[in-house]
Structure 1
């Protein structure tokens, strides 16, 4: 079977698959080279270093997450869109744990300014605009939504919810419902210095 040609994209994809299998910290240049069946030195003609690979995995994960969220929220608004976005994020985290883990780390400027990051950000803003939040309030609401999803997924992944009989899926649904209540009743921020 012929080997896949080495490109920055194939290297990043192999690293992302490695992360899903073994964890994000498993991404080291030598392990990615083994994954591809090549010598470590062969990768350096296509990627600068480990940091470039890690950033590439983050950008790939953002693009894939944007595809999943975009498909889920299409034609939905308010609570339905919020549920769809949250479910898509949770499903992505479950199906691609290494890729998801990459998104829980600080991104470099190139990733932050990428088209993939803009898509994810734009989708979040679109969902929250359905609640008629002001632009400044959307930032706070996005942080709250992101923290809720990331925290729930992290606790679920470590088995922290395994010690009770109550359904984890019911807890998830109630968490998203609570966000809907908060965003529906959000009090607009007051301009600093306003009387």
Structure 2
């Protein structure tokens, strides 16, 4: 991973840290030394910033940076650092820089010291063997790979033809049922007339 700000960014942009959380001890940040000095200066000034104006804190930061042979990334960043110090909180560049700086300058308040102590413990902890499966277990067979050939889908024309055939069968069935009902009605009417005719003949006799 490149730590260069890139050609599309301003030349005074803050370099990227390949491991900002400090979880990967093998990650190398080429700006680690400079960041540690900046962080140490921030700790130093924040501890002495109580009762000072924002302008005074800004000047104190610039003086401390200069004394340590480093400079602010840019003016906006410097304003953010000064504002945080004004409120009694040190600006944390990243955890690796803060941990390195605390070895020379104690963090200015208990809250930050506790967070850094916890972070240091996490860096020193080692996961027990077998926590993660071996690399071979991550290899997938060809049959396990998702996104393979999709299942064949029916031809829309075939589906449409089948739908039409079903509709035609339903229409024929409905017509047949209607015809049967009509025939049944005719036979019922005839039987009714025959019964009435039979009763009339019997009455006349």
Shorter-chain TM-score range: under 0.3
Higher-Rg structure is 2
Structure with bigger RCO (C-alpha 8 Å, 6+ apart): 1
